[in-house]
């Protein structure tokens, strides 16, 4: 059964939270990043990119130590404060008619090791070690892992209850995302939340596999040492727990630089072995069901339907459209053998980039582009339950979380 705990978060003061919290820094365009750092002294980006203060880019352990220093300065200057008692944090994010909500708390590394918390992606050991060392040196975790759980009546009742009350935080970002957050610190309610999660046999990582694996790396390192406080703190990692029904999964476009030496007609003939092909001209096509794909090639959109006679799944992974695309097109026809590292393939989230499937091919940047039907929550869970790993960029999962909203200190 799952162990989920409340904690004493370090978080921005109410008057500065809109100025402090950020998207992941690697999402920002270079000019936007520089403007924020120049104009907003309260931005959490000053902590994540500490060299800006000295007009210098720093890397490795030196950067990690400077991140730690900037964080301490934010606390000393009263930008961040520590909560007095362990709490859960109920958060809601809304935009364009989409409303997401979840509960921020601590997940257990032992649950991760014992497969109570299940994963559906492979991780790279080098990145695990890099971010694990980052956590150790900086001493804090500021971006929760997104974990999904089966809908639960009591947990769902919390958002209905607290929406009627004043939130601790209420702010809207310049991207028109509105955030609300409430503290759940009443002893009886905290106990019921812990018990609700404790009744669940499994939880599933939706987004943040490398962050989880890095916390596991740190835990294993601390367990081998003599610092009892560090051992205890590293047993847990911060997570945002979201009900399955509230999770939104969309897909990624896939673009390939070349046709692997084939002419257009040769490529279409090769596809014909596995797919029914329909040219729909200039009209954008979005797949409407599993095993249907969109393709843009040489000025035209195509519908690709997997031939039932060609579809011979050997395991649960083979039912995923991202795996079908890899197994029947990317690898055998286009020569993409390592979709994680091959420089000839490029991924782009479909959400917000619908016109890019046509534009990036017409511009000459790529020879062909593909769209997939999104993975379902049930497919994600089935892959995880069978200890399998999805191909890279099989799912684009929302909500995306902000850094610096709540912080879990590791030292």
The residue-averaged pLDDT of 80-100 equals: 96
Split at pLDDT 50, 70, 90, the class of 265 is very high
* Same-domain pairing of 83 and 155: yes
The residue-averaged pLDDT of 306-333 equals: 95
Q: In angstroms, rounded to a whole number, what is the distance separating the alpha carbons of residues 91 and 77?
A: 26
Sheet containing 275-281: give its strands across.
275-281, 300-306, 292-297, 368-372, 252-256, 345-349
pLDDT single digits (tens) 114-142: 999 999 999 989 999 999 999 999 999 99
Q: In angstroms, rounded to a whole number, what is the distance separating the alpha carbons of residues 241 and 90?
A: 10
pLDDT single digits (tens) 190-211: 999 999 999 999 999 999 999 9
* Same-domain pairing of 227 and 97: yes
Tokens standing for residue 377: 């929550």
Q: What is the pTM of this model?
A: 0.94
* Same-domain pairing of 113 and 260: no
Q: Is residue 88 part of a domain?
A: yes
Split at pLDDT 50, 70, 90, the class of 26 is confident
**More confident call, 68 vs 227:** 68
Q: Is residue 379 part of a domain?
A: no
* Same-domain pairing of 212 and 276: no
* Same-domain pairing of 244 and 286: no
Whether pLDDT at 243 is above 90: yes
Q: In angstroms, rounded to a whole number, what is the distance separating the alpha carbons of residues 184 and 7?
A: 11
Range of the domain at 338: 252-373
* pLDDT score, position 16: 97
Split at pLDDT 50, 70, 90, the class of 25 is confident
pLDDT single digits (tens) 394-403: 999 999 999 9
Q: Is residue 369 part of a domain?
A: yes
* pLDDT score, position 367: 98
Using DSSP bridges, classify how beta strands 169-172 and 80-82 pair: parallel, antiparallel or unpaired.
Answer: unpaired
* Same-domain pairing of 240 and 272: no
Tokens standing for residue 380: 């994600």
* pLDDT score, position 22: 96
Q: Is residue 137 part of a domain?
A: yes
Beta-ladder partners of 304:
277, 293
The DSSP code for 402 is P
Split at pLDDT 50, 70, 90, the class of 24 is confident
Tokens standing for residue 269: 């003939």
* Same-domain pairing of 31 and 77: yes
Q: What are phi and psi of 339, to 5 degrees?
A: -65, -10
Report the CATH number at residue 158.
3.90.1530.10
The residue-averaged pLDDT of 227-233 equals: 92
Q: Is residue 53 part of a domain?
A: yes
Q: Is residue 386 part of a domain?
A: no
* Same-domain pairing of 188 and 283: no
209-223 vs 125-138: helix axis angle to the nearest 10? 70
* pLDDT score, position 170: 97
pLDDT single digits (tens) 162-179: 999 999 999 999 999 999
* pLDDT score, position 55: 87
Number of domains, the chain = 2
The residue-averaged pLDDT of 229-257 equals: 96
Average pLDDT, the chain: 96
* Same-domain pairing of 207 and 315: no
* Same-domain pairing of 140 and 58: yes
* pLDDT score, position 45: 96
Reported as type and span, the H/E element at residue 45 is helix 45-48
* pLDDT score, position 27: 85
Three-state helix/strand/coil letters over 172-220? ECCCCCEEEEEEECCHHHHHHHHHHHHCCCCEEEEECHHHHHHHHHHHH
* pLDDT score, position 351: 87
Percent of the chain's residues with pLDDT above 90: 92
């Amino acid at each position: 059964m799952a162990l989920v705990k409340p904690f004493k978060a370090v978080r921005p003061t109410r008057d500065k939270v809109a100025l402090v919290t950020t998207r992941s820094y690697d999402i920002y365009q270079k000019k936007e990043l520089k403007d924020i750092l120049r104009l907003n002294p309260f931005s959490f980006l000053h902590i994540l990119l500490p060299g800006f203060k000295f007009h210098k880019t720093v890397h490795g352990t030196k950067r990690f130590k400077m991140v730690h220093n900037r964080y301490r300065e934010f606390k000393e200057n009263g930008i961040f404060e520590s909560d007095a008692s362990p709490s859960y944090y109920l958060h809601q994010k809304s935009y364009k008619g989409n409303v997401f909500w979840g509960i921020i708390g601590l997940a257990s590394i032992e649950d991760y090791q014992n497969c109570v918390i299940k994963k559906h992606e492979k991780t790279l050991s080098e990145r695990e070690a890099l971010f694990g060392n980052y956590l150790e040196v900086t001493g804090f975790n500021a971006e929760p892992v997104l974990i999904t759980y089966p809908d639960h009546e009591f947990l769902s009742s919390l958002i209905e209850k607290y929406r009627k009350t004043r939130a601790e935080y209420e702010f809207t970002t310049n991207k028109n995302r509105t955030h609300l957050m409430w503290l759940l610190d009443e002893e009886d309610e905290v106990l019921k939340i812990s018990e609700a999660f404790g009744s669940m046999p499994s939880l599933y990582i939706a987004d943040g596999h490398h962050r989880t694996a890095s916390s596991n790396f740190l835990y294993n390192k601390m367990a081998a040492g003599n610092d009892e406080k560090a051992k205890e703190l590293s047993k847990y990692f911060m997570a945002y727990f979201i009900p399955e029904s509230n999770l939104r999964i969309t897909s990624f476009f896939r673009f390939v630089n070349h046709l692997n030496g084939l002419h257009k007609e040769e490529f279409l003939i090769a596809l014909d072995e596995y797919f029914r092909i329909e040219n729909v001209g200039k009209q954008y096509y979005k797949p409407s069901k599993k095993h249907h794909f969109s393709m843009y090639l040489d000025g035209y959109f195509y519908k690709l339907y997997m031939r039932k006679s060609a579809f011979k799944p050997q395991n649960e992974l083979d039912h995923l459209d991202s795996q079908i695309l890899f197994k029947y097109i990317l690898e055998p026809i286009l020569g993409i053998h390592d979709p994680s590292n091959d420089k000839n393939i490029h991924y782009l989230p479909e959400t917000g980039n619908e016109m890019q499937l046509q534009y990036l091919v017409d511009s000459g940047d790529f020879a062909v582009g593909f769209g997939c039907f999104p993975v379902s929550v049930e497919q994600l869970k089935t892959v995880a339950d069978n200890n399998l790993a999805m191909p890279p960029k099989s799912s684009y999962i929302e909500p995306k979380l902000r850094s610096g909203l709540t912080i879990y200190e590791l030292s």
